[in-house]
């Protein structure tokens, strides 16, 4: 029997990424999209997918507060029962994960292999970049993750995230889904869970997204807590330099 899978993701001005996100997660049964007011077609694109439940939300003053984001994610997880789904995936719109080492496989057929005694999978994501040999991103080329396969082969421990949770376990995530609030009762599966982090996958979208969409929207609470520090005080020149520095990275997967 196939597993039922639910995604939880926040969206703001993600018109470019939404089609790639929906294409990659074609196997998700439902998507809980917490979206804030955007000045692009983010809402329209999400609304067109029958799997998406739209949950409108605005951060105070429009500034990203990862503490509030964490609390909303945990609330949605707590309200999701085993009767409605088997697994919950907490991912950002630029995080594309897969199971069993196979990006093109149906995750609903792989997750039943997880032992019933396990309730968490840790996603290990590569930070990927546009290689000088890569073509422009094209939604028609699937699986979409194969278009950006170069990056740092030594995966950043910060992007090993316990973000795949068996529904109905009461597990709660910390900020960014990087850790679990209380590790008691957590049993991690050894089933492969890999991914590609597209934060810097191509200058065509990441310059505006990281500067206007992230860096310029950091809340005072984030600054005080040190949350999202990789997005502080960015300029387009800084982001572009990161992209240039990785033009010759090796293939990761």
Question: Is CATH 3.30.420 what the domain over 5-245 is classified as, yes or no?
Answer: no
- Residues 113-132: tens digit of each pLDDT: 999 999 999 999 999 999 99
- Residues 4-49: tens digit of each pLDDT: 999 999 999 999 999 999 999 999 999 999 999 999 999 999 999 9
Q: What is the pTM of this model?
A: 0.96
- Residues 37-48: tens digit of each pLDDT: 999 999 999 999
Q: Where are the domains of the chain?
A: 5-245
- Residues 132-188: tens digit of each pLDDT: 999 999 999 999 999 999 998 888 777 899 999 999 999 999 999 999 998 788 999
User: Cα(38)–Cα(40) distance, rounded to whole angstroms?
Assistant: 5
């Amino acid at each position: 029997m196939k597993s039922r899978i639910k995604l939880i993701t926040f969206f703001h001005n993600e018109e470019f990424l939404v089609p790639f996100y929906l294409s990659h997660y074609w196997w998700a049964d439902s998507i809980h999209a917490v979206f804030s007011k955007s000045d692009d077609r983010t809402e329209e694109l999400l609304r067109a997918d029958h799997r998406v439940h739209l949950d409108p939300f605005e951060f105070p003053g429009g500034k990203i507060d990862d503490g509030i984001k964490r609390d909303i994610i945990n609330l949605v997880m707590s309200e999701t029962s085993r009767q409605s789904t088997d697994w919950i995936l907490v991912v950002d719109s630029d995080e594309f994960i897969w199971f069993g080492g196979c990006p093109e496989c149906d995750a609903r057929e792989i997750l039943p292999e997880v032992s019933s005694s396990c309730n968490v999978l840790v996603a290990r994501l590569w930070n990927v970049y546009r290689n000088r040999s890569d073509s422009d991103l094209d939604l028609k080329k699937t699986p979409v993750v194969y278009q950006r396969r170069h990056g740092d082969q030594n995966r950043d421990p910060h992007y090993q995230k316990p973000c795949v949770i068996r529904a109905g376990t009461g597990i709660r995530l910390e900020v960014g889904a990087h850790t679990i609030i209380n590790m008691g009762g957590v049993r991690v599966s050894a089933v492969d869970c890999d991914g590609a982090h597209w934060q810097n996958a191509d200058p065509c979208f990441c310059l505006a997204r990281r500067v206007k969409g992230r860096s310029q929207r950091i809340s005072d609470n984030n600054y005080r807590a040190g949350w999202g520090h990789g997005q502080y005080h960015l300029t387009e020149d800084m982001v572009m330099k990161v992209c240039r520095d990785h033009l010759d990275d090796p293939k990761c997967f």
